[in-house]
Structure 1
């Protein structure tokens, strides 16, 4: 996937004189010489480049500008071998570039060359590590934790031993066996808690858990690799244990030392950029490819996701990898249904389902029925939704996957709630909570149940009780969408009740605030009519959201800042944020903020355009 035109031009400018600090004005004048854009364009593109090269690649000098930090070094050009020409990475234009842009184009080939040299140096192949380089310690949990047949246990132990032996020869990883009795399912259900306890004693960097399955002579290994910040999942199949172990270890070496596992992801867009880099380096790794497509899908980039899912399907077919051929169909089905192409999406899902049924893969069958329920959602067919999600729950139970079963029940509750099926709504939510009790899952898994109860309750006392329960389940450093949702609901309640001290207390104990937390503090001060403090926290939210590539959060902050500056009688600032909203608002965001836009006196550009 090519680096975008403005990013390439900005990178070229920074590399044209690495010792220079380029001001925002200079960058705007050169990179966007033929357009009128705001400073946010600079923030966004700097953030995207940092997402690709790392936070330390570009240094910010307060009130001065930006400077490239890494030295340009010679390196082998093997990374270029898969490109027909360097022009493959350039964005073509039919217009003649302005003089200043033409100056940048003169160094663009150098820029693209450096891009691949940088990737080669920062993501070297495992066998290119220096002997002096410190290895990452990877703790391996026992793969065989289930009481099955003797044949299964023997095969499982052979696979586990083969993986350990191959990892022992790695130049980047040092495997350590664990005597822990934590099962694969327990570890993957609550990885953060187990990771801390497992790595504390061994000073490990990574934890590898695996689950072996056998079907008609095929060995299957599903694994989870957990780093300090994030987790990575994959699945392999082979008729031969040695080949299976080679596939697993080769793949793990590719991803174990990347920022995706060891570095906090500021946003899903930065994760997407890093996945694109990894896919460029390992285009034949289907697990990396699948994860990239899934991230694009979750980001809402459906057009790009569907094109790449077609490529994944073709690549899997060329490799005779029937598993990822079916996974590509599952992805295509989900994406097409979200695009409104329901019948086309269902056809792909039925193809995937047939393969998963042949393999007796109940987990993937459950995922497919969940996707088929979304097709029924497009038709507003409640009975169809209910039938498909109940099948998804039953299959998850056969797969011994409690969280998937509970998730299906939660979806049943959500659709019953949205479609006014009140009897079913209460029943499904109660069933989900009973399953949590039955499986004795850790307390944090109750958070989503509490959130649902808070969202449908008419009692302020119950709403407060449930949201405070959620916040008590997590540490202040933990990031989770359930926490964000609970903070928003509770803050709104405390504001309505004018309980200002308690509202501020929700955020006063934290060393630093996240984007949404700065927004909520700004909202509290705005309602209190302390507009200067509201503006200060609102700007923190706005700037960090833009740096993180979180467009929705940036738009939320911009709308609040428009209202704050209206109260402060600062028309220039009002124009600034109005322009940002008009330029960057999406149809989805506009539809979810119609009342706020009307209250602020801002027009709906999508309605005006006839959307």
Structure 2
């Protein structure tokens, strides 16, 4: 007997699980457990019943049941199986019995039988065979006639061959790698697929809407990536605009520049091209947000929102605006932006963007001390990510749930959510580097400094990845602070790494020198950090360096232009940065700055 639930089909006799026609690998024990739940869907199954049915000849603990149920939940959704305290577990999803199967294997078998029959009775049955073939082809090759199937392609090209990037080139998949793997691991994909720094890897996917659709794209180069969307009335129009963007980018050094100010200069030139102007503006917002230049980012978002945008583009801009507000501790404004964006993506039924908006909204509930609402938003976000087949987004939702549970003192829930995330990484066979998020979650949730330090050291021992830049910098921050607190100067020096931007390296050396009361060296390093940060437009590095210089000046007055750094802080400090440094600012008599 076969049963259908959501987009899954499960054969309880063959223990075969399919999702949208694709076979999902399922080991024997989880498969038998799934069969047991489905065949007893109206019953709460006790642990004793499960053990007797699935492990009749073995002595195992209750933890084995929990692990296998966690595996099924990670695959099918948290809401698939409900736990009844001290009673057992029960299947929760609606089931539809399927009595006849029309899968590809049976179609091939039937076609083979008909062909043998065809050889013996050619004239009599030719019409029947042709009819069956036509019908079968509709099952076997649905992509030929299904206009709703998303267009997916992955290709690479050398920037020296920009003119070759036309519509035909884009639509011809010329790289043997999945689109989702590039979305999930862009820099790793680029490293594996290219041999020269001037090569770009591009992944595209088309999402049909009620009118037209949206082309999602990711471009990865040696130093940076570009991830955005193009809305158009047809695939052809979107791909044509994509071709224009690639040809324009191919003539620049945007993907090869290391320094932020050079990248922004390239974008300034590109923004003059009317056809790609809005794309360039959204990318500039992303860069400004990443470097914490929140005032400039906020102004640019407001300018774009005031323009004549489609509903979809408004949703994207509101997501960016919400992130800016959140980074500046403007929670009420962030809530308004994220709720409007979520409403837009709900109406358009774009699941992966619904998931993104729901995950962002969970932080707003957390700040508002609404733990249950935060967890509910994350559950919904994980479900949407699962439908959209975005495994990393689903993993992210579970890891945030794990963190929130740790802060709420829910150790059991923290471990459960972390286990679900680990299961998803295994099920989807994601790269080892993605397990770094699990390590970061453990460090983030650790209650003791020593425990957190172990995990942060593991992160720093991992080969650096652009994709997880924030995690690596957070680990370096924690290691340096811990080493300084324990006056372990050699360990503090080890927190400076080759992959770090130069302003951050100078800043780390300045902080360590200040802690050792080597004020002259601290001043020299801090001033170099400030200069580098200003040139490369790294706002937080510049603010941290300016604050350190003022602290050094208080201990050993030797800076002639201290007012310069005071003025910079007064003009540039964000709410979040002020909150983090409130105590030091108060000591230096630098009052709060209203950035609302």
Distance 1:465 1:388, change over 3 A: same
Task: For 1:235 and 1:464, locate their aligned partners in 2 and report how far apart those are by CA, in whole Å.
Answer: 39
User: 1:176-215 maps to which residues of 2 (within 5 A)?
Assistant: 180-200=175-195, 205-213=199-207
Match status 1:406 vs 2:395: yes
Match of residue 591 from structure 2: 605
Match of residue 149 from structure 1: 142
User: 1:353-368 maps to which residues of 2 (within 5 A)?
Assistant: 353-357=345-349, 361-368=350-357
Could you say what secondary structure the match of 1:232 adopts? strand
Task: For 1:383 and 1:193, locate their aligned partners in 2 and report how far apart those are by CA, in whole Å.
Answer: 37
User: 1:166-565 maps to which residues of 2 (within 5 A)?
Assistant: 171=163, 173=165, 180-200=175-195, 205-213=199-207, 221-236=215-230, 240-266=234-260, 271=263, 274-282=266-274, 285-295=277-287, 299-301=293-295, 303-312=298-307, 314-316=308-310, 323-324=312-313, 326-328=315-317, 330=319, 338=330, 340-341=332-333, 344-345=336-337, 348-349=340-341, 351-357=343-349, 361-374=350-363, 376-377=365-366, 379-417=368-406, 423-475=412-464, 480-507=469-496, 510=498, 514-565=502-553
Distance 1:238 1:416, change over 3 A: same
Q: Quick check: 1:306–1:336 contact (8 Å CA) kept in 2?
A: no
Q: Number of aligned pairs?
A: 447
The Cα shift of 1:284 comes to 5.8
Which whole-Å deviations, capped at 9, do the CAs of 1:495-519 have from their partners, x for residues lacking one?
A: 2333222332343x73986222221
When structure 1 is superposed on structure 2, of 205-214 and 423-432 the one drifting more is 423-432
Uncovered stretches (5+) of structure 2, i.e. residues with no partner: 1-139
The Cα shift of 1:580 comes to 4.3
Q: Quick check: 1:236–1:244 contact (8 Å CA) kept in 2?
A: yes
Task: For 1:309 and 1:513, locate their aligned partners in 2 and report how far apart those are by CA, in whole Å.
Answer: 30
The Cα shift of 1:538 comes to 1.9
The Cα shift of 1:197 comes to 2.2
Could you say what secondary structure the match of 1:340 adopts? helix
Task: For 2:580 and 2:490, locate their aligned partners in 1 and report how far apart those are by CA, in whole Å.
Answer: 29
Could you say what secondary structure the match of 1:211 adopts? strand
The Cα shift of 1:419 comes to 5.5
The Cα shift of 1:408 comes to 1.9
Task: For 1:372 and 1:493, locate their aligned partners in 2 and report how far apart those are by CA, in whole Å.
Answer: 32
Task: For 1:501 and 1:441, locate their aligned partners in 2 and report how far apart those are by CA, in whole Å.
Answer: 36
The Cα shift of 1:393 comes to 0.9
Distance 1:377 1:294, change over 3 A: farther
Task: For 2:561 and 2:280, locate their aligned partners in 1 and report how far apart those are by CA, in whole Å.
Answer: 43
The Cα shift of 1:245 comes to 3.3
* Root mean square deviation, CA, Å: 4.1
Task: For 1:158 and 1:344, locate their aligned partners in 2 and report how far apart those are by CA, in whole Å.
Answer: 34
The Cα shift of 1:343 comes to 7.0
Q: Quick check: 1:159–1:245 contact (8 Å CA) kept in 2?
A: no
Distance 1:513 1:364, change over 3 A: closer
Q: Quick check: 1:206–1:226 contact (8 Å CA) kept in 2?
A: yes
Task: For 2:430 and 2:380, locate their aligned partners in 1 and report how far apart those are by CA, in whole Å.
Answer: 22
The Cα shift of 1:556 comes to 1.1
Task: For 1:210 and 1:229, locate their aligned partners in 2 and report how far apart those are by CA, in whole Å.
Answer: 20
Could you say what secondary structure the match of 1:210 adopts? strand
Q: Quick check: 2:211–2:233 contact (8 Å CA) kept in 1?
A: yes
The Cα shift of 1:240 comes to 4.8
Match of residue 115 from structure 2: none
Which whole-Å deviations, capped at 9, do the CAs of 1:170-223 have from their partners, x for residues lacking one?
A: 6375969775431111122112122122111x7861112223455679565432
Which whole-Å deviations, capped at 9, do the CAs of 1:21-52 have from their partners, x for residues lacking one?
A: xxxxxxxxxxxxxxxxxxxxxxxxxxxxxxxx
Could you say what secondary structure the match of 1:235 adopts? strand
Distance 1:563 1:181, change over 3 A: same
Could you say what secondary structure the match of 2:205 adopts? strand
The Cα shift of 1:275 comes to 3.6
Q: Quick check: 1:327–1:352 contact (8 Å CA) kept in 2?
A: no
Match of residue 572 from structure 1: 560
Task: For 2:376 and 2:150, locate their aligned partners in 1 and report how far apart those are by CA, in whole Å.
Answer: 40
Distance 1:253 1:412, change over 3 A: same
Task: For 1:159 and 1:467, locate their aligned partners in 2 and report how far apart those are by CA, in whole Å.
Answer: 37
Which whole-Å deviations, capped at 9, do the CAs of 1:386-429 have from their partners, x for residues lacking one?
A: 11121011111111111111222233344445566555444434
The Cα shift of 1:227 comes to 1.7
Distance 1:153 1:209, change over 3 A: farther
Q: Quick check: 1:393–1:408 contact (8 Å CA) kept in 2?
A: yes
Q: Quick check: 1:283–1:289 contact (8 Å CA) kept in 2?
A: no
Task: For 1:371 and 1:558, locate their aligned partners in 2 and report how far apart those are by CA, in whole Å.
Answer: 31
Task: For 1:476 and 1:388, locate their aligned partners in 2 and report how far apart those are by CA, in whole Å.
Answer: 29
Distance 1:538 1:365, change over 3 A: same
Task: For 1:195 and 1:503, locate their aligned partners in 2 and report how far apart those are by CA, in whole Å.
Answer: 33
Q: Quick check: 1:296–1:305 contact (8 Å CA) kept in 2?
A: no
Using the size of structure 1 for normalisation, the TM-score is 0.62
Uncovered stretches (5+) of structure 1, i.e. residues with no partner: 1-146, 317-321
Could you say what secondary structure the match of 1:207 adopts? strand
Structure with max Cα Rg: 2
Task: For 1:389 and 1:610, locate their aligned partners in 2 and report how far apart those are by CA, in whole Å.
Answer: 30
Q: Quick check: 1:275–1:288 contact (8 Å CA) kept in 2?
A: yes
Distance 1:159 1:581, change over 3 A: closer
Q: Quick check: 1:416–1:424 contact (8 Å CA) kept in 2?
A: yes
Task: For 2:197 and 2:568, locate their aligned partners in 1 and report how far apart those are by CA, in whole Å.
Answer: 47
Task: For 1:512 and 1:326, locate their aligned partners in 2 and report how far apart those are by CA, in whole Å.
Answer: 34
Distance 1:577 1:388, change over 3 A: same
